[in-house]
Structures are given as structure tokens and as C-alpha cells.
């Protein structure tokens, strides 16, 4: 038994980049070295900006180092609740944006032959019962918002996908990957400083490790930014989830197919 993320188990945590030891100047500063920060820094640098990324610990060790590694376009929020609050058009814009991002990641991985255990698969939003009011409401919302959505698999769903499910919404053309392998391959083209804690953010400058980085743009991608912005603390409620990994002697007895699954529970199981 191991109590560690599989991503950190296969690529152990280690300092790979220097710490900030002097004042710097750049076009944009990104605070936070997870997937959001690294991809933002990469995007800006490819548009010709000089970029500095500051990470308090080490790259991909926070939320990104503990992720499930799902490359899904499905929002981690109830689609029916989004529709009720903001309308169908808003939900459709979310799906369009997440699909564009998903496709750009797939293309980046394939075009650059990035070795990150990438697998193309489907995902299933699932119920253990044939009658599930929540799943029905989600299905109605998805049909209006996601053109690729969706087949609703009902009878014998468990037999089709080798899982104990009675009903599921299928999202085709999804993916999964090893996030740390991916991030270390794309974290290029900009300056990175690890073990560099940001102490203060002000217009045009960032103070970190006692030094000043002068900049025009600041992007904050920390998992919990309330240490820098106390006014955000009432809005943030950290939660912990868990991943179980298992090995099977034979693919013949693997209990589920090589796809992505989550259920309608609260909290839900992936």
C-alpha cells in the first residue's frame, strides 16, 4: 500500500528550477506552478511576451500533482443548476470553451509526441439506478448545450461498459493523461522560479523572496489565493478527495473498461 499520488510516485517531487535571488523585470508574472499557471505562461510566451512563473513549492505538486488526470470537457458543476442560474446559452458557451481547450491539449500532445500516457476514451456520468431524477435533469441540460454530448445508455449499461451501472450519459472523445509527465514537457520558453513565495502583489509589481519583479501583467493561478487576497477567504472552501489505484493479474478480470466514470452521489465517486 502507498499513500501517494500515482503521478508523484512515478515522477517524485524534486526541485528542478532555481529560486528567485534578485530583482527581475518582465511583461507578465504568473503566480502558481500547476497546470493553469504553466499553460498560461506557455501561451503568453508563445505570443512574444517575456514571462516569469513563481511557485512557492515545486511545479505540479499541489492540486495538479494530486489530480485524477481526466481531460474532460464536462464542468465539475451541475449543468441543470448552471442553466437555472445563468441560462442555456451560458452553459453552451462553457461547453464550447472547454471543448476548444480539450482539443488544443489533444493536438499539443499528438503534434509534439509528448510521452504522458495519453489515452483517448469516453466518459460516463452514471447512476446505479434506472430511475435517477438528478441524472434525468442533467441529461435535459446537456442535450441543449453539448452538441457532441451524448448518448444516454440505459438498459444493460453495466454490461456494455463493464461497470455496475444501470444508466449513464456518455460523452465521447474524452481523454486521460499523466499530468506531471505532460507539464514538465511543456514548461519551456519562460523563466521559472521554484521555492519562491510571493509575499505581496501590487499594481505593476510582485514581491517574492524579498525581491521585486516589475511587470505589466499579473496572473494568479494559486489553488488557494486567500493568503495573498484575504478578501477571498470567505469564498473558498477547501475539500479533500481520494484516489485508489489497483493492479489486476489479468485484463480479463478488470472490473471496468478503460474509460472515465463518475456517479451522481454527493460527494461523487470518480
Question: Cis before residue 128, ω within 30 degrees of 0?
Answer: no
The average confidence (pLDDT) of the chain is: 90
The sign of the CA dihedral 38, 42, 43, 47 is positive
Q: Which residues fall within 8 angstroms of residue 102, CB to CB, at 6 or more apart?
A: 71, 72, 73, 174, 175
Sign of CA dihedral 134, 139, 145, 148: positive
* Mean of pLDDT values over 71-83: 92
pLDDT of residue 103: 95
Angle, vertex CA 96, rays to CA 94 and CA 102, nearest 5: 100
Using the predicted structure, report yes or no on whether residue 262 has a pLDDT greater than 80. yes
- Which candidate, 28, 32, 65, 46, places its Cα nearest to that of 182? 65
Report DSSP state, residue 76.
Answer: S
Question: 235 and 247 in contact (C-beta within 8 Å)?
Answer: no
The reported pLDDT for the residue numbered 116 is 97
The alpha helices in the chain, defined as continuous H runs, are 6-10, 35-46, 79-86, 88-111, 133-145, 157-161, 179-186
Q: For residues 7-16, give the mean pLDDT.
A: 95
For residue 91, pLDDT over 90 is answered with yes
What's the average model confidence in pLDDT over 71-77? Answer: 91
- Cell matching residue 137: 435533469
Residue 158 grid cell = 453495466
Cα(7)–Cα(26) distance, integer angstroms: 32
Question: How many other CB atoms are found less than 10 A from the CB of residue 83?
Answer: 21
Question: Residue holding cell 450519459?
Answer: 169
Amino acid at each position: 500500500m502507498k499513500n501517494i499520488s500515482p503521478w508523484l510516485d512515478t515522477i517524485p517531487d524534486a526541485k528542478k528550477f532555481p529560486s528567485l535571488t534578485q530583482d527581475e523585470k518582465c511583461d507578465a508574472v504568473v503566480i502558481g506552478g500547476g497546470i493553469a499557471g504553466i499553460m498560461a505562461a506557455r501561451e503568453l510566451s508563445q505570443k512574444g511576451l517575456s514571462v516569469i512563473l513563481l511557485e512557492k513549492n515545486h511545479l505540479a505538486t499541489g492540486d495538479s500533482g494530486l489530480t485524477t488526470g481526466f481531460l474532460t470537457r464536462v464542468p465539475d458543476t451541475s449543468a441543470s443548476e448552471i442553466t437555472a442560474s445563468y441560462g442555456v446559452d451560458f452553459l453552451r458557451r462553457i461547453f464550447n470553451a472547454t471543448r476548444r481547450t480539450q482539443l488544443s491539449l489533444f493536438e499539443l500532445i499528438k503534434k509534439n509526441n509528448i510521452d504522458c500516457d495519453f489515452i483517448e476514451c469516453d466518459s460516463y456520468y452514471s447512476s446505479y439506478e434506472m430511475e435517477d431524477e438528478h441524472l434525468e435533469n442533467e441529461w435535459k441540460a446537456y442535450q441543449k448545450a453539448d452538441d457532441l454530448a451524448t448518448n444516454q445508455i440505459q438498459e444493460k449499461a453495466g454490461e456494455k461498459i463493464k461497470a455496475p451501472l444501470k444508466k449513464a450519459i456518455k460523452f465521447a472523445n474524452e481523454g486521460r493523461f499523466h499530468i506531471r509527465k505532460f507539464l514538465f514537457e511543456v514548461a519551456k520558453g519562460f523563466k521559472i522560479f521554484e521555492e519562491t513565495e510571493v509575499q505581496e502583489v501590487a499594481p505593476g509589481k510582485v514581491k517574492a523572496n524579498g525581491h521585486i519583479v516589475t511587470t505589466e501583467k499579473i496572473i494568479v493561478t494559486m489553488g488557494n489565493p486567500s493568503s495573498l487576497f484575504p478578501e477571498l477567504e470567505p469564498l473558498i472552501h477547501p475539500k479533500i478527495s481520494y484516489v485508489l489505484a489497483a493492479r489486476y493479474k489479468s485484463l480479463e478480470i478488470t472490473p471496468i473498461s478503460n474509460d472515465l466514470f463518475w456517479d451522481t452521489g454527493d460527494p461523487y465517486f470518480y
